[in-house]
């Protein structure tokens, strides 16, 4: 089995720390390692380093190589432009098919936090076996620990295989982010799992499904594939990849296929998508404030503060995110942390390049 780590996103919800050239995957958001380093380190006991590949962008390519010197140079592949996860997965698939046509690849995002590493590796091995033996695409679903409105869900159907309390079930449907009442209903049902965005994909199967559901992309990928290891490789990549539809692997393939299986993940998981998602992971003080750096608080509760250089003094506030960097200060309500990406888009439209 190969591993593919998708590390091309800009992480705009983690502005002002995350910028175009210092996106969150190359930052130490949680712990002493960067997110891309953690993503590789959790895999190496199961998947050898020479079988781990990174798909990123040209702005981050050199830094990722520097942070991961244990990986062969050719295992870091830079997309010429961003085209979302369907194109990313397809690009990885044609390169890995060139190495091992009957292989499988485990696909992860670089911004996930895994708590129970031993259980993660056991589940990964089991999922890899399922994918190889069945030829199906296996997804990790996360049993919700509370009603969650911020994630999409998978509705599980027919039981296919059971092992050590990890029932593999046919994917019946993908469900968009629910409202609060629907989320409570999902939480109470064993048939609904949070969509983690982690997949184990037989290479032949994912390419067949891309050709079936995204035929223009499939044809373009084959033209790139025909140029791999030739002098025309970069030219083909630069010509074909920008033509691909910008669509996620979920919407482009997974929601349309009949060959998807969901496996409940037994390891702790968090999608570190915004500053508010870090609140659950950082240690808290006696007033439930999560802080890194210098802070002084008075009558302040449930607030996240990141300020490694300046003293932040907070008085009489609650449920805020406060993030300080050399050239910017972010203050927002925790419930609005997802909207930071809209703020970045405004800066882009206003051509405030020095802050991007």
In this structure, what token pair is assigned to residue 350?
């206003």
Residue spans of the domains in the chain: they are 2-271, 275-355
Closest by CA to 103, choosing from 207, 176, 237, 215, is: 207
pTM for the model: 0.92
Residue 273 pLDDT? 82
Fold adopted by 2-271: Spore Coat Polysaccharide Biosynthesis Protein SpsA; Chain A (3.90.550)
Distances (CA, A) of 321 to 7, 22, 299, 337: 25, 20, 16, 8
DSSP labels, 170-230? EEEEEEPPP-HHHHHHHHH-TTEEEEEEEEEEEHHHHHHHHHHH-HHHHHHHHHHHTTTTS
Residue 164 pLDDT? 58
- Is residue 97 within 8 A of residue 2, CB to CB? The reply is no
Residue 80: strand, helix, or coil: coil
Residue 9 pLDDT? 83
What does DSSP say about strands 329-333 and 320-324: parallel, antiparallel, or unpaired? Answer: antiparallel
Residue linked to tokens 């968090």? 270
Give the separation between CA 34 and CA 43, rounded to whole angstroms.
15
Q: How would you write the pLDDT of the chain (356 residues) with one tens digit per residue?
A: 999 999 988 788 899 999 988 899 999 988 789 999 999 999 999 999 999 999 999 999 999 999 999 999 999 999 999 999 999 999 999 999 999 999 999 999 998 999 899 999 999 999 999 999 999 999 999 998 888 888 899 999 988 876 656 788 999 999 988 888 999 999 999 899 999 999 999 999 999 999 999 999 999 999 999 999 999 999 999 999 999 999 999 999 999 999 999 999 989 888 888 898 888 889 999 999 999 998 999 999 999 999 999 999 999 999 999 999 999 999 999 989 889 999 999 999 999 999 99
Query: What is the C-alpha R_g of the chain?
Result: 21
Residue 163 pLDDT? 60
Residue 100 pLDDT? 97
In this structure, what token pair is assigned to residue 56?
């990123």
To the nearest 10 degrees (0 to 180), the angle between helices 215-225 and 84-99 is 40
Residue 274 pLDDT? 87
The alpha carbon of 151 is separated from its chain's Cα centroid by a whole number of angstroms, namely: 13
In this structure, what token pair is assigned to residue 283?
């240690």
């Amino acid at each position: 089995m190969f591993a593919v780590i998708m590390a091309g996103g800009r992480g705009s919800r983690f502005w002002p720390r995350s910028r175009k050239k210092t996106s969150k995957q190359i930052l130490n958001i949680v712990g002493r390692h960067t997110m891309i380093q953690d993503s590789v380190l959790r895999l190496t006991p199961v998947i050898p380093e020479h079988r781990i590949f990174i798909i990123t962008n040209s702005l981050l390519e050199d830094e990722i190589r520097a942070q991961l010197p244990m990986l062969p140079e050719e295992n870091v592949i830079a997309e010429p432009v961003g085209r979302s996860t369907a194109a990313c997965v397809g690009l990885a698939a044609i390169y890995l098919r060139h190495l091992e046509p009957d292989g499988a690849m485990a696909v992860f995002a670089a911004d996930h936090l895994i708590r129970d590493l031993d259980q993660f590796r056991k589940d990964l091995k089991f999922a890899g076996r399922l994918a190889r033996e069945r030829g199906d695409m296996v997804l990790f679903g996360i049993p919700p620990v509370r009603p969650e409105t911020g994630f999409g869900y998978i509705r599980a159907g027919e039981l296919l295989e059971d092992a050590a309390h990890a029932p593999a079930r046919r994917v019946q449907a993908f469900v968009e982010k629910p409202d609060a009442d629907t989320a409570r209903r999902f939480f109470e049902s064993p048939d609904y799992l949070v969509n983690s965005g982690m997949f184990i994909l037989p290479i032949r199967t994912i390419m067949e499904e891309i050709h079936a559901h995204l035929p223009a992309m499939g044809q373009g990928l084959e033209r790139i594939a025909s140029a791999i290891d030739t002098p025309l490789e970069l030219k083909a990549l630069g010509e074909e990849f920008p033509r691909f539809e910008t669509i996620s692997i979920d919407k482009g393939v997974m929601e349309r296929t009949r060959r998807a299986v969901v496996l409940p993940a037994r390891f702790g998981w968090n999608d570190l998508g915004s500053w508010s998602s870090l609140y659950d992971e950082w240690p808290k003080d006696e007033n439930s404030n999560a802080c890194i750096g210098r802070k002084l608080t008075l009558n302040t509760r449930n607030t996240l503060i990141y300020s490694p250089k300046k003293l932040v003094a907070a008085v009489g506030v609650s449920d805020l995110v406060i993030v300080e960097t050399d050239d910017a200060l972010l203050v927002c309500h925790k419930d609005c942390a997802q909207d930071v990406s809209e703020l970045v888009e405004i800066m882009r439209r206003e051509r405030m390049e020095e802050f991007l």
